[in-house]
Structure 1
């Protein structure tokens, strides 16, 4: 496919997304109906769609309208390119520009939904605008080195053997940032043998801050794919690791991932007994990961956020009895909104005098990678 044909395809996908279809679903439907498109074409169209969604409102202003076509025109203008050189109407290129597709000013547009903006500003204070602008850019790919299988130097060397470039990070010995050929990761020897796992830097930093000692019982209560429990697995010997999720199907890949990592994780339908550490990485708005899932920020609604906050509170009430005296509860979200973070923790502590907060931290793309929150609480 030519660059112009890829833009035509992105316009088609974006129109479906703007009509209410999730981006991944729209991309999959386009891919299945476009057998002529190679893997490079599919990746390029995906990148165009996600870039447009990260900058939806500003690109719409620059492109003359909130349509797939407008977003692509605006994206070219934002990149300093003349869209008339692409919108030629020749071959598979989009039709030529129309008079009404002139650019408007986008200087004051931060690409945050209007109803979220007050919550965003109140949560982030002076950093709100800078973070909103940073959220327009593609997120880097991070790997976590499994210390059971090797160190960062060994991982970098193994990845290089498959043509993947990565560099270590001074903040965490197990963190690697991929700098080239990230799409080869799933086929690499380092990944297949459990030497590295995909995990963003911010949750890596959060997991590294969790207190674990040899022989501890650790429960990941909202385990999903199991990234947090596997990050803890290599921290101390003899850990008894358990994973639970309200939807057990979300953990279907965890046994295979654990085997690859050289760890044992028991999947439990109903946790029993008490644990030295309970990790509750709860469902959230995902506002800290909007660079990776940009359509979700436009799909989120006020009533959905209210439901999420209520669910988080219920989960905290449910996990509190599972923490043994002297044990710890790690409350985590991939959100940067205070209603899901600090205020949620304050309400829990006000209702549970047996717990106190040991530490808390919020990471963002301004100081780490994804937006991520950790409150570490101890039971008396």
Structure 2
């Protein structure tokens, strides 16, 4: 493909991504896979160049552009060498018309800029758009740190036990240790949240928003085999991904429950006031994961954020009813917005005097608003807020 044809392909892929962000469709990564599957003529160099153009535009614009063409035209002012690709020849995009609208603005949408936690300064904001590292967790029930270091001599030990960073682009799927469940890909921040939940050695655990089970599996690896972990979610597709993962990790103490949206208690009533730990990794804006999923900025609107915080409140109330006296609730969001983090903790504690904050001693994170804040710049993790609460 010519450079101009690559630019046109990037415009077309961005059009798909913009539409999906507007309509709550597939992720940018999944769209890219489908896009290239339909264009098998694009070689590896073509795919790499197109991806670079697409993700440069996604990372640059905080507000969702009207079209892929506008998104890339906005880059021309900052990268003048791109102008010559808009020539209308060689399967490239049409020439730039005088006065043609282009994308503009900051990396963070104006309406979100003042909603971040007070500890998030300019270096922190810049780090939100860095490339995410590759973190892995060693499953101590299936392997040892020494075996992992032998397989990946370049692995760098991180702040938490059994956690490592591997070089970007490391291939894991073809390694026996990965296939046998000895390691799991998991951001260090997610590992820290699981460690906070496991601190009191709970015997009965409910992972209320388990998704595909990343934190469920981490808890299983950290807790005794006789503990029982229930992974629950309303998304059948995501929940079904736990089964092969738990078999691979030999995690026999995990069971799953599919919940009905808005009717979760119908399936959880038997756990009322019974759980030693309820983990709520709540749906959120994903502001802490922009370095992995920068198009999330194009999906979130003030109305969607309002609906998300309302759902978070309902989930905390629901989870609190399932914790027994003396048990704990860990509430977490991969967000750095106060509305989803500290505000939620304050609201809950103010209306529930029978609960108190518990301090968890971890080697990463900063105390913040009755909880802990993790961020890319300070901790090298995705951005998270989490709190550990105890029922009196």
Matches within 5 A, 1:45-194: 45-56=50-61, 67-72=67-72, 75=75, 78=78, 82-84=81-83, 86-87=85-86, 91-94=90-93, 110-120=106-116, 123-124=117-118, 127-159=120-152, 166-169=155-158, 171-182=159-170, 184-194=171-181
Residues 1:175 and 1:48: Cα distance change in structure 2 (over 3 Å): farther
1:35 has 2:40 as partner: yes
Is the 1:202–1:371 Cα contact (8 Å) retained in structure 2?
Answer: yes
Deviating more after overlay: 128-137 vs 353-362: 128-137
Residues 1:159 and 1:32: Cα distance change in structure 2 (over 3 Å): same
Deviating more after overlay: 225-234 vs 244-253: 244-253
Is the 1:213–1:236 Cα contact (8 Å) retained in structure 2?
Answer: no
Is the 1:158–1:189 Cα contact (8 Å) retained in structure 2?
Answer: no
Residues 1:215 and 1:289: Cα distance change in structure 2 (over 3 Å): closer
Which residue number corresponds to residue 366 of structure 2?
Answer: none
Q: TM-score, normalised by structure 1?
A: 0.84
Which residue number corresponds to residue 342 of structure 2?
Answer: 342
Which residue number corresponds to residue 288 of structure 2?
Answer: 288
In structure 2, runs of 5+ residues without a counterpart are 259-266, 360-370
Is the 1:110–1:129 Cα contact (8 Å) retained in structure 2?
Answer: no
In the aligned structure 2, how far is the partner of 1:280 from the partner of 1:215?
15
In structure 1, runs of 5+ residues without a counterpart are none
Structure 2 residue aligned with 1:361, among 369, 372, 375?
A: 372
In the aligned structure 1, how far is the partner of 2:165 from the partner of 2:53?
23
Is the 2:62–2:298 Cα contact (8 Å) retained in structure 1?
Answer: no
Which residue number corresponds to residue 210 of structure 1?
Answer: 197
Which residue number corresponds to residue 266 of structure 1?
Answer: 255
In the aligned structure 1, how far is the partner of 2:129 from the partner of 2:146?
32
Matched residue SS, 1:124: coil
Residues 1:103 and 1:46: Cα distance change in structure 2 (over 3 Å): closer
Is the 1:110–1:133 Cα contact (8 Å) retained in structure 2?
Answer: no
Is the 2:203–2:276 Cα contact (8 Å) retained in structure 1?
Answer: yes
Show CA shifts across 1:165-215 (max 9, x none): 54222x113222221423x33343332111111111211122222344557
What is the Cα deviation at residue 33 of structure 1?
2.8
Residues 1:136 and 1:354: Cα distance change in structure 2 (over 3 Å): same
What is the Cα deviation at residue 85 of structure 1?
5.9
1:371 has 2:369 as partner: no
Which residue number corresponds to residue 199 of structure 1?
Answer: 186
